[in-house]
Structure 1
């Protein structure tokens, strides 16, 4: 079995099912008013390759995933192909009681690990969840060291809470975190401003993350190695986001001229010779060959992230919004829906037989066999037995005291009881003013690895001892 070839066929099925699910919900299912009910064909298709590589190769049974909210049609298609949803569930997207437009753990806990509908919140929640997972592993000898995989769109990184979270020192020590950024260069209203990707990379690097960028695909990389290939690479690398999006929308017949003509109107003869033997359709395919749609490169990046043992990884995967669809690269494709004619043409181009629109993998096919051999996806473990919590404490309180002082006294008593092993405190740079000093002195500060304290021999009201055994998590004032 050629695994890569099988994955290529799987991603075509994912692209079709995700796109057709939205089409069915908005154009085929009976409706009293004809109003668009939701689902994003363009935003979903941009991550089809990434999701295919993730769910049909890279994920292990104890990995949790926070998928990009707008990728839900492709995500649901994958859950169907993995046997966790029915075709009927796909047909009920956005119907009353049906699948949500955005992944919702509350509504679909069996398949959705983490809700991601509010931009920026899901990514941050998932990453702090990874910190909590590391805490549990350090304190209770938990056998699970599964990863938390976060997928976000590049425009989603504009949310201020994302940058605030990345600045937290403890997160940069988490080896169980992988972020995948869908760099499709488009937000809802516009093409993402130039320089934003450079800023994103700089922020992650400054925060101590390992950064892996998938800019161009393997076919383009091979062309770059040919005589004159460096000219093509410089030409493409120098393009602004708007320029590149315009090139993607340029008809095949005019693309060659657009590439070989310099800003001053002169023709780059070296580049012209490089492209001379390429047909118009081949050239258009090559220009759109970005790393986020090259399964081989994606799998290599995922493997590299798993090997990284000292810090979290972010993969900046360049993609095309609307990939594989006639609306690919259109600056206003976020809310566009394919027409019936476009759907019919897509069905034919992907090899889907008429009447087989909802079919999964044929029994006995390589796709079905590959899927059968995959490890089961994450399912929540059974709730552990509850611990005994005292109903009252042997502690006296002054007739008048602040709630902060009372909290400090309560924690002081709890710190001497067995239940303290299950207590975690968190503060945003206000441990002293919230009377946590006594608790911290007894139970310590949690950090993924032990840190020295040069003030350990100096008498202080609060000793700041950081180690994996601590029970207080300190955050920056950004909270």
Structure 2
């Protein structure tokens, strides 16, 4: 079975690169697949069970597909579709591949720790909803992948400690993309894992070489091999047997030379290159030893040869190398196949066929039931129409109120990278507690305002200062229904400027179709005294541009309530998305919202808020020059002040407040349709066109945003008029809000000036 898996994985890549219908390289990694074949054969055919979850090393995806084909879980037609439209993906994908992977991989470092956070999620769901059948979570990782810093952030976080159901298997082939990994890196890496409290195991030498170490002179042989740098050891694989002997013994102890004299050249090379990562029995025993470590994660260093079993084995330049057609023909013949049988499965009545059928029946995941519909209210609190409050403060209050909603509160789980209190999660934590899989002392916390007593019933997971860990955990909490059969409502908070620190993991969670809510707060320059290091400018664009997430930027408390309740409801909808709320610590007078409720009515206003925006000031044409001010989030007060000033200047100014520029843009984009009658592209009304009616579209638009000015720069072209964009296009500094709004040109005076300039240009060149 190991040999057939190697053949299929190699041939899948070979076929993809010889289809001839593309003018760019198709790619694939035959050598990287070959080093993983033994590990994955031992796992799938001897170790894992139906509820276990595995993240496959990105470059080994053809090995995964070969196994899934042999076990009957992938149709034969897919074997010739690698990297084709509608076919097998370049890297394992849980949303795009027909043989659904447990985890998407491809962005190195992320797949390596995704199962670690899935194991944490399983521990959480077992604590809250009762223990399920045991499940193991396994990450298959290349040794070069450990260069990624996010791996060590995850390993070091206290939240991931004690997860005995997680094992990381490192394919230690001593090569990365373009180099042999220098020095004896494994020694240092093992120490890192051990110091983090992990169980460290290794499959270093195969059984033949291990037995040789016990013979006379074997101790000298072992010491000689162990002392060789990676570069020197790697060189041996590409040498002819006689040359290998000379190179290997060049500076060896006489005892090693005497030991080697007992073997012919080809026997010596076979023995010296007998590594544990290709010994199926040793691998199976090593995996079982990890299962015995129930109180800590495990890591297995599996020593392998890149390209094992192929003509390119051990070549330092084999990363993207392909076997020649002649080498493919020879390989096919060596395992008893021909052109008519090369894609065949095993005879179902053979020993291998029976094993494959058994594994396929055990591991093939049953279809998931739909996510449950939870009784999430349309609003958690009564409408807030008086006083001043910030969207961050409103967020905390709404979340604390939702904690008391039956059928909802027990499904909420919050997390933050050491910023839970400063992002207003305190109220929720006081009600629901901090999560720990064991009871822990609160060290006097019961006497404080914030009750911080970790235990198995807590619903807040506090992380260290790592935004990557935040988004990795949110992603796995957001897959809890798919992986663990329990629908959670994950909510994370992070300082908005540092969303970008975790952006890779944010994207990874969305690509996996995870469902979660994240609040970036405070956003923009409105945390003014903190200076430029705590000010964000491009995150609004990130939220609007990412697929599978909806970005919101409310200004008033009730908007936050409606949006958050809708965002949580989205997590259970088949077509729902994750949500990103960009919030502020700036207190804002709630009276303008009260005026909008009076003018529009609560039901209509809520619909508009969830559609992405509403008219905060309605100034229809009255014969005077007019302008439309479009704002979002914390800039609503400046937009309203500017409208009053412009009215004094004889200019009528409507104010459109976008609660979700993302939804408004999508509505506008979705309006393009092709008329079957005229074969012309026509536009259906969008929410943007409802916000700016036809009789106002000859007015210029001034947009203002506590973010980069380009984030709303599409509005003018969308409605066909002039636009003047205001935003934060420079690095910030410390000061008051008024100081920084003036410095960045987003204060009320700047809006007024922009409106007057825009009106002048519009009147002089109305056709431009």
Relative to the length of structure 2, the TM-score reads 0.59
Q: Which residue of 2 aligns with 1:393?
A: 380
- Aligned runs of 1:212-291 on 2, under 5 Å? 212-262=201-251, 268-291=253-276
8 Å contact from structure 1 (residues 217, 290) kept in 2: yes
Residue 478 of structure 1 pairs with residue 466 of structure 2: yes
Q: CA deviation at 1:395?
A: 4.5
Q: Is the 8 A contact 1:59 1:377 kept in 2?
A: no
Contact 2:346 2:353 in 1 (8 A): yes
The structure 2 residue matched to 1:402, chosen from 390, 394, 407, is 390
Structure 2 match to 1:7: none
Q: 3-state DSSP class of the match of 2:438?
A: coil
Tell me if the contact between 2:184 and 2:230 (Cα under 8 Å) persists in the aligned partners. no
Gaps of 5+ in 1: 1-9
Q: Which residue of 1 aligns with 2:334?
A: 349
Look up the match of 1:176: 165
1:199 Cα offset (Å): 2.7
Aligned: 1:412 with 2:403: no
1:462 aligns with 2:447: no
Deviation at 1:110, TM superposition (A): 4.0
**Range 285-294 or range 105-114, more displaced:** 105-114
Give the SS at the match of 2:363.
coil
Displacement of 1:30: 4.2
Between the aligned partners of 2:367 and 2:296, the Cα distance in structure 1 is 26
Measured after TM superposition, the shift of residue 119 of structure 1 is 0.9
Matches within 5 A, 1:57-456: 57-108=46-97, 110-262=99-251, 268-374=253-359, 375-379=362-366, 381-395=368-382, 397=384, 399-418=387-406, 419-456=408-445
Q: Distance in 1 between matches of 2:328 and 2:383?
A: 73
Greater alpha carbon shift after TM alignment, 76-85 vs 391-400 = 391-400
Residues 269/173 of structure 1: CA separation in 2 closer, same or farther (3 Å cut):
closer
Residues 134, 32 of structure 1: alpha-carbon distance in 2 compared, 3 angstrom cutoff: closer
d(CA) in 2 for partners of 1:141 and 1:268?
A: 60
Higher-Rg member (1/2): 2
Give the deviation of 1:128 after TM superposition. Answer: 1.3
Once the 2 structures are TM-superposed, how far is the Cα of residue 114 of structure 1 from its aligned partner? 1.0
Give the deviation of 1:188 after TM superposition. Answer: 0.4
Q: Secondary structure at the match of 2:103?
A: coil
CA distance in 2, matches of 1:269, 1:447: 57
SS at match of 2:439: coil
Shift of 1:109: 5.7
Once residues 332 and 199 of structure 1 are traced to their aligned partners in structure 2, the CA distance between those partners, rounded to angstroms, is 25
Q: 1:205 to 1:301 in 2, by over 3 A?
A: same
Query: Are the aligned partners of 1:120 and 1:156 in contact in 2 as well (CA < 8 Å)?
Result: yes
Contact 2:381/2:398 (CA < 8 Å) preserved in 1? no
Deviation at 1:475, TM superposition (A): 0.8
> Partners in 1 of 2:168 and 2:366 — Cα distance?
21
Which deviates the most, 239-248 or 378-387?
A: 378-387
Hey, what's the Cα distance between the residues in 2 that align with 1:104 and 1:322?
Answer: 24
Q: Name the CA distance, whole Å, in 1 between partners of 2:349 and 2:152.
A: 47
Whole-Å separation in 2 of the counterparts to 1:71 and 1:26: 16
Separation in 2 of the partners of 1:307 and 1:380?
31
The normalised TM-score by structure 1 is 0.93
Residue 269 of structure 1 and its aligned partner are, at CA, apart by: 3.4
Contact 1:173 1:310 in 2 (8 A): yes
In the alignment, is residue 18 of structure 1 matched against residue 5 of structure 2?
no
Q: Partner of 1:3 in structure 2?
A: none
**1:232-282 superposed Cα distances (whole Å, 9 cap, x missing partner):** 1111101000000111112101222222331xxxx6432222222322222
- Alpha-carbon spacing, 1:272–1:349, altered in 2? closer, same or farther (3 Å): farther
Q: Check conservation: 1:172, 1:311, Cα contact below 8 A.
A: yes
Q: Is the deviation greater in 354-363 or in 115-124?
A: 354-363
Q: SS where residue 46 of structure 1 aligns?
A: helix
| CA distance in 1: counterparts of 2:50 and 2:22, whole angstroms | 43
Q: Distance in 2 between matches of 1:96 and 1:438?
A: 49
* Secondary structure at 1:232 match in 2: helix
SS in 1 for 2:144: helix
Aligned-partner Cα distance in 2 for 1:371–1:49: 16
CA distance in 1, matches of 2:368, 2:456: 24
Which residue is 2:727 aligned to? none
Q: State whether residues 93 and 100 of structure 2, in contact with CA within 8 Å, keep that contact through their aligned partners in structure 1.
A: no
Q: Distance in 1 between matches of 2:411 and 2:458?
A: 11
Q: Secondary structure at the match of 1:424?
A: strand
Q: Structure 1 residues 380 and 453 mapped into 2: Cα distance closer, same or farther (>3 Å)?
A: farther
Q: Is the 8 A contact 2:159 2:461 kept in 1?
A: no
Shift of 1:71: 0.2
- After superposition, give the CA deviation of every residue in 1:313-358 in whole Å (9 maximum; x if it has no partner): 1111111111111111111101100001111222233333453211
Contact conserved, 2:92 with 2:105, CA < 8 A, in 1?
A: yes
CA distance in 2, matches of 1:101, 1:314: 26
Quote how far apart the aligned CAs of 1:56 are.
0.8
Q: Secondary structure at the match of 2:171?
A: strand
Closer, same or farther: CA 402–212 of 1 in aligned 2, 3 Å: same
In the alignment, is the contact (CA less than 8 A) between 1:137 and 1:144 conserved in 2?
no
Cα root mean square deviation, aligned: 1.7
CA–CA separation in structure 1 for the residues paired with 2:53 and 2:356: 18
For the 8 Å contact 1:261–1:268, the answer to whether it is kept is: no
CA distance in 1 between counterparts of 2:95 and 2:284 reads 31
Which of the pair has the greater relative contact order for Cα pairs under 8 Å at 6+ separation? 1
Shift of 1:380: 5.5
In 2, the alpha carbon distance for the partners of 1:394 and 1:107 equals: 40
Task: Please report how far the alpha carbon of residue 141 of structure 1 lies from its aligned counterpart in structure 2 after TM superposition.
Answer: 1.4
